[in-house]
Amino acid sequence: MVEKLHVNLGERGYDILVGERLLADAGRHISPLIKGRNVIIVSDNNVAKFYLHRLSNSLEEAGISFRCLIVPAGEATKSLSSFAQLMENLLEQKPDRNTVLIALGGGVIGDLTGFAASVLLRGVDFIQIPTTLLSQVDSSVGGKTGINSGFGKNLIGSFHQPVLVLADVTTLKTLPKRELLSGYAEVVKYGFINDPDFFNWLEQNAAAMLSGDSSLQAQAIIKSCAAKAAIVAADEKEQNIRALLNFGHTFAHAFEAETGYSETLLHGEAVAIGMVLAFATSVKMGICPEQDLLLAKTHLQNVGLNISPLSIRKDWDIDALMKHFLHDKKTSNGKLTFVLTYGIGKTFIQKDVNPEIIRNVLMEEL
């Protein structure tokens, strides 16, 4: 069974397909979207060895010619130097404006390829084939593309919607447990944001889902994508409510920056810590019951996510973390903006947050 969702953005709208063995049938789904029959696949050296042959065979069966570019795996690939090298390699393939890029991989590949597509020949189409849980429920949907800077994560980029998203849940079978858990943080985020019923469903089903139940994984992906698609359709370029999708991310990006965007702290792990800190900040401000903070912490710990920053390193620099918050994309006129919560399923955007409250929360946690 293949489930289909539509992201309603008018002429820029597109379908999200979720199901098993979609890679083997990718050519059939992609073929109607290829004007010039000219495709360039971008993948990383980890994903390519597992899935490139499946995608290649499917494209060949559909009569689609293609070439492949392989980049190093890891967050370090989302850098200006790696992006420049990718652009040179793409241009070497002599693309035209009918060329379509395919991002085969996790969030790094999707972000990098999407940004490349947005500026290659001033913009070409691209397709997302996310292979991690995190990318299937978050980064592949919504058209945010970009790379990192020394000043922060995803500060260089563009909004460029894909023309199709294919989420094959069978790719999750080769995902290390740590990566699966990292992706789960972005799944439960949707329950924390505005859907307490989904959070309750996850309370009942998360363990089986994370143990490999493909049916439950597909249900969670569909629910997550539907939640994100609805918000993106209402606020494509994050002028308002789309910022809710960044729940926990302002904290998370600062921690990631301080660990050098390395394997020391995966994105979803940072998001889990960040969501706990957002709950803690809300409790500190007297707007969220402490019971909801404890419920969120217990759930994240029970599924196996590490929510203790001190287990990652003992010497966090609070001043450095505070500086990172000033570079957050939601910050305006030097005033901090955070996504906070009145309780599970009740997030909101709070502008001009008192920095001393944030500093106190960090001091208590770190």
- Residues with a known catalytic role: 122, 144, 186, 228, 238, 242, 246, 249, 253, 267
Output the CA–CA distances (angstroms, integers) from residue 38 to 65, 68, 99, in the order listed: 6, 11, 5
Starting at the edge strand found earlier in the chain, the sheet holding 2-7 runs 2-7, 14-19, 164-168, 125-130, 100-105, 38-44, 65-71
Region at 143 (left for phi over 0; alpha for psi -120 to 50; beta for the rest)? left
Q: How far is CA 268 from each of CA 251, 252, 287, rounded to the nearest angstrom?
A: 12, 8, 26
Reference 209, options 177, 166, 167, 165; nearest CA is: 177
Half-sphere exposure for 97 (CA within 13 Å, toward CB):
3
| AA letter at 329 | K
DSSP 138: I
Helix (H) or strand (E) holding 125: strand 125-130
For 161-191, b/e burial (b = at least 16 CB within 10 A) is bbbbbbbbbbbbeebeeebbbbbbbbbbbbb
Nearest to 161 by CA among 331, 12, 366: 12
Structural contact between residues 191 and 299, judged by C-beta atoms closer than 8 angstroms: no
Structure tokens at 238: 């994050």
The label of the residue with tokens 């904290």 reads 251
Distance separating alpha carbons of residues 308 and 290, to the nearest angstrom: 18
What is the spatial distance between Cα 264 and Cα 256, in angstroms, rounded to a whole number?
A: 9
Q: Give the helix/strand (H/E) hosting 41.
A: strand 38-44
